[in-house]
Chain A
Amino acid sequence: MIQVERLTKKFADTLAVDDISFAVEKGKIWGFLGPNGAGKTTTMRILTGFLPPNEGRALINGIDVGENPRAIQRRVGYLPEVVPVYGELTVREYLRFVAELNGLERKKIAAAIDRAVEKTCLQPVFGRLTRNISRGFRQRLGIAQAIIHEPEVLILDEPTIGLDPAQIIEIREMIRNFRESATVILSSHILAEITQVCDGAVIIKEGRLKATLTREEWGKNLEIVAGAPVADGVCDALRSAFPAVSEARADGLSLKLEFLEPPADFNPILSWLVGRDVKIREIKAGLEALYMKAILAEEGRVS
Chain B
Amino acid sequence: MRSAWIIAKKELKSYLYSPIAYILTAFFLLVSGFFFYNILAWANEQTMRMMQQGYPAEYVNINQMLFQPFFSNMVVVLMFLLPLLTMRLFADEKKMRTEELLLTSPVRLSAIILGKYLAALIIYGGILLLTATLAVFVFLNGNPELAPLLTAYLGLFLLGAVFIAIGLFASALTENQVIAAAISFSVILLIWVLSWIGESGPGAWRPILSYLSFFSHFKNMVSGVIDTQDLVYFLSFAFLGLYLTRAVFEFRKWR
Chain B nearest Cβ from A196, distance in angstroms: 27
A101–B105 Cα gap in the complex (Å)? 6
Count chain B CB atoms within 10 A of each CB in A76, A80, A93 and give the residue with the most: A80
Prevailing SS type, chain B contact patch: helix
Chain B residues with Cβ below 8 Å from A145 are 101
Asked if residues A101 and B97 are in contact (CB atoms below 8 Å), the reply is: no
Chain A residues with Cβ below 8 Å from B100 are 45, 50, 78, 80, 84
Q: For chain B residues 1-48, which have a beta carbon within 8 Å of chain A? A: 3, 6, 10, 13-14, 17-18
B186 at the interface (CB under 8 A from A): no
B252 nearest CB neighbor, chain A only: A51
Chain B residues with Cβ below 8 Å from A102 are 105-106
Asked if residues A84 and B17 are in contact (CB atoms below 8 Å), the reply is: no
Asked if residues B98 and A97 are in contact (CB atoms below 8 Å), the reply is: no
Asked if residues B253 and A51 are in contact (CB atoms below 8 Å), the reply is: yes
Chain A nearest Cβ from B107, distance in angstroms: 6
A87–B101 Cα gap in the complex (Å)? 14
B59 at the interface (CB under 8 A from A): no
Chain B nearest Cβ from A49, distance in angstroms: 6
Prevailing SS type, chain A contact patch: loop
A-B contact pairs, 25 of them (CB 8 A): A45-B100, A50-B104, A73-B105, A73-B106, A80-B97, A80-B101, A81-B97, A84-B96, A84-B97, A84-B98, A85-B96, A85-B98, A86-B98, A87-B96, A88-B17, A88-B18, A89-B10, A89-B17, A93-B13, A97-B6, A98-B101, A101-B3, A101-B101, A102-B105, A103-B107
Interface of A with B (CB < 8 Å)? Answer: 11-12, 45, 48-52, 70, 73-74, 76, 78, 80-82, 84-89, 93, 97-98, 100-103, 145
Q: Given A89-B10, A89-B13, 17 other A-B contacts at CB below 8 A?
A: A45-B100, A50-B100, A50-B103, A50-B104, A51-B253, A80-B104, A82-B97, A84-B97, A84-B99, A84-B100, A86-B10, A87-B96, A93-B13, A97-B10, A101-B6, A102-B106, A103-B106
Interface of B with A (CB < 8 Å)? Answer: 3, 6, 10, 13-14, 17-18, 96-108, 253-255
